[in-house]
Copies of this chain bind each other. A is one copy, B any other.
């Protein structure tokens, strides 16, 4: 996704298009590894040494608010970010701290069907996400 496309995404969300925001969203898409704020800061420092840490945190928050990003569920401590807007699942490797997206429409349908029939007492489901832990083979 190039800068023009990113700018369009921002506009579409009613957000001002600033070089910092383009850089930050671009970094996340390029890194493509559910990065932490620190990963993102390190990455953009190369081409944008003047973007401040506070700005990165504020921009990330505004992206989450505007549904351009989602925070990844991890075991706490440090936030990680996910640019994929549509629902998907995650593969976690605890050894390497690597998180990969996992999409499986057949399984989605299976689970959605199951809960349409069964439901959960006293609970209205809004989203279902699988977190699969294990090991990557490479």
* A residues neighboring B (CB under 8 Å): 71-80, 91, 100, 102, 104, 106-107, 110-111, 114, 118, 120, 122-138
- Pair A128/B132 contact, Cβ less than 8 Å: yes
**Inside 8 A of A130's CB, which chain B residues have their CB?**
111, 128-131
Cα(A79)–Cα(B73), bound, Å = 11
Number of this chain's copies in the assembly equals 2
A78 → chain B, closest Cβ, in Å? Answer: 6
Contact A126 B136, CB 8 Å, known A74-B73, A74-B76, A120-B102: no
A122 → chain B, closest Cβ, in Å? Answer: 4
Given contacts A71-B75, A76-B79, A124-B137, 17 further A-B contacts (CB under 8 A): A71-B76, A72-B76, A74-B76, A77-B79, A104-B118, A107-B114, A111-B111, A111-B130, A122-B136, A123-B134, A123-B136, A123-B137, A127-B132, A127-B133, A127-B134, A128-B130, A128-B132
